[in-house]
Structure 1
Amino acid sequence: MIDNAFALLTLSVLMHVAWNVMTRLADPRANFLWWGLLAHTLIFAPWAITSLVIEAQWNAELIIALFFSAVANVFYFFALRRAYHLASVSFVYPIARSSPVLIALWAWLLFDEQLGLWGMAGIFLSISGLWLLAKVDPGERTVPAMKWASLAAIGTSIYSLSDKVAVNYLPSFSA
């Protein structure tokens, strides 16, 4: 069982890396990111939307969470696309995926969740790594790229917390 989980996790990581590298390397006129999202939507939307409509425990909190999640996802993809036009994946991706630091901040501010010593140490380590990353590649386009990648991280943190709220009203994986 552990070998299967490890293999699936490894495959997931490789697919995620490949997706981001292809997004960065594709000709901007090809709109690779948007075509990939459209394909994903066409494949999964009929099943997921049907399950969502039928199975969800509908209330105002779920509707608000779904709204914020959708808007934040769109915001994330626009910002990520712009950042990839300005700098390499090795520069943009760690910043765009630094959202756990922001998630911890939002969870503390909005949900009164507390961080332990190890959590604070992890945040400090993450921020230190991001600061070093910015110093290693001081290219002319990295400042604008850092701004867009940071906006992508904000989008990720918002949709992650919105999803945390929404999942309480979704009884199955398909929903």
Structure 2
Amino acid sequence: MSALALSLIVMSAFMHATWNYLAKRSAGGFAFVWLYMSVSTVIFAPFVIGLFFLQSISFGWMELAFIAGSALIHVVYALMLQKGYKIGDFSLVYPVARGIGPAIVAISAVFFIS
């Protein structure tokens, strides 16, 4: 593994742990979710705008619907995680929150593919 790949993995793990620590320690709720999603948007917007200039990207209604659906799911997840952190212990809420997504996908796949 290259040093760049390893450093990206370590940095990503550190950022993920820091985000969850701050989410647990904050007063939480809608204001915290709005703040970190706004900051994320400001950080990533230049990269997305640059991608539009470098690539030939076109959106239809279906793509926009999936983007909106994904955004809605992320907001609901973040708000539910804040609620969980507010009422539960980190060692219980975090693993359940991280495991519920793959479980829902796996269960849904069984019904949609069959």
User: Smaller-chain TM-score range?
Assistant: 0.7 to 0.9
Question: Alpha-carbon deviation of 1:29?
Answer: 7.7
Q: Which residue of 2 aligns with 1:26?
A: 26
Q: Secondary structure at the match of 2:59?
A: coil
Q: Which residue of 2 aligns with 1:62?
A: 63
Q: What TM-score, normalized by structure 1, do the two folds share?
A: 0.54
Does the 8 Å contact 2:29/2:82 carry over to 1?
A: no
Q: Deviations over 1:107-139 (max 9, x none)?
A: 3333x28xxxxxxxxxxxxxxxxxxxxxxxxxx
Q: Give the total of aligned pairs.
A: 112
- The residue correspondences of 1:118-133 to structure 2 (distance < 5 A) are none
Give identity over the alignment, percent: 28
Does the 8 Å contact 1:24/1:84 carry over to 2?
A: yes
Unaligned runs of 5+ in 1: 114-175
Q: Which residue of 1 aligns with 2:72?
A: 71
- Structure 2 distance, partners of 1:30, 1:78, is 7
- Structure 2 distance, partners of 1:69, 1:30, is 18
Unaligned runs of 5+ in 2: none
Letter in 1 for 2:9: L
- Structure 1 distance, partners of 2:79, 2:30, is 15
The answer to whether residue 114 in structure 2 is matched with residue 109 in structure 1 is no
Could you say if the C-alpha distance between residues 4 and 87 of structure 1 is closer, same or farther in structure 2, counting changes exceeding 3 Å? same
- Structure 1 distance, partners of 2:107, 2:52, is 29
- Structure 2 distance, partners of 1:33, 1:84, is 13
- Structure 1 distance, partners of 2:84, 2:30, is 16
- Structure 2 distance, partners of 1:56, 1:94, is 37
The CA RMSD measured in Å over matched residues stands at: 2.7
Q: What TM-score, normalized by structure 2, do the two folds share?
A: 0.77
- The residue correspondences of 1:139-158 to structure 2 (distance < 5 A) are none
